[in-house]
Homo-oligomer: A and B are copies of this chain.
Amino acid sequence: MPRTKGDHEARRRDVSEAVWRVLAAHGFGGLTMRAVAAELGATTGLLTHYFRTKGDLVAYALDLLERRTEARPRRAAGPGTSAVRAALLDILPLTPEATGSNRIWVSSWDTALADPGLRADHARKYARGRDKLRDLIVEAQRLGELSPGDPDRIAAGAQAFALGLVVQALLDAPAFPPRRQIELLDDHLAALAPARGG
C-alpha cells in the first residue's frame, strides 16, 4: 500500500506522543530508543528512521518540550501586577498537565548541564522568559502597582522563586498543593508592592 503524506504526518504524531509519554513517566534519564520503541509498539529498527542516534532523540525531545510549552494555553489577565501574577501562575504545576510538563523540564536540566550546547539553549530560553516578565513588571511599575527598582532584578528574582517552587511542588506534592503554591506566589508579589501595609 503506498504511503500518503497523511500517513507520514500521523506516524510523526504517534512518535511525538510516545516520546512524551516516556518523558512523563521516566524523565530524560529514562529516554532511550528502546523505551520509545516499546511505547510505540514498534521495533528499535523502525525508530532509527526518525532518530539516527540517541543524541537526535534527546534533541527532538527538548524541541518537543519547548513547542508544547509555547503552545500551552495561557491565563488572560489585565495589565499591571495581575499580568505578572498570571505569567507566574502559568509556570507553576497547578494542574496535572502543568505538573507533567514541569516534571519534564526539571528532568531536562540534568541533560542540559551535561552538554554545553544544550545548556546554552536552556540559558537562552530562560533569558527570554525573564525578558517577558521584565516587560510586564515595567508596566506594573508604571501603573504604581509594583514599587520602583531595577525591573531586570525583580524579574530574575521572580523567575528564581517560580522555578524553585516548581521543584518543591514536584518533590513534595502533599506539602505544596495548588492552594499553597498560589499563597506563596501572592506573598512574593505582596512583598514587591509599594507602601506595604498602607
Q: Is the CB of A123 within 8 A of B160?
A: no
A→B interface (CB under 8 Å): 26-30, 103, 106-107, 109-114, 119, 122-123, 126-127, 147, 149, 153-154, 156-157, 159-168, 170-172, 175-176, 180, 183-184, 187-188, 191-192, 196
Q: A171 near B106 (CB under 8 angstroms)? A: no
Q: Which residue of B lies closest to A119 (CB)?
A: B171
Q: Is the CB of B187 within 8 A of A123?
A: no
Q: Can you give 8 contacting A-B residue pairs, CB < 8 Å?
A: A27-B113, A29-B110, A29-B114, A113-B171, A122-B172, A127-B172, A147-B196, A156-B184
CA distance A26 to B123 in the complex (A): 18
Q: How far is A153 from B50 in the complex, measured between Cα atoms in Å?
A: 48
Task: Classify the secondary structure of A's interface with B.
Answer: helix
A158 nearest CB across to chain B (Å): 9
Name the B residues within 8 Å of A107 (CB-CB).
109-110, 113
- Pair B171/A165 contact, Cβ less than 8 Å: no
- Which residues on B sit within 8 Å (CB–CB) of A127? 172, 175
Bound CA span A168–B112, Å: 12
B126 in contact with A157 (CB, 8 Å): no
> How near does chain B come to A39, taking the closest CB pair, in angstroms?
15
Whether A110 and B114, one on each chain, are in contact in the complex, defined by CB atoms closer than 8 angstroms, is no
| A167, chain B: closest CB distance, angstroms | 5
Please name the residue on chain B nearest to A183 by beta carbon: B153
A9 to nearest B CB, angstroms? 31
Contact of A126 among B106, B126, B156, B172 (CB under 8 A): B172
CA distance A175 to B127 in the complex (A): 9
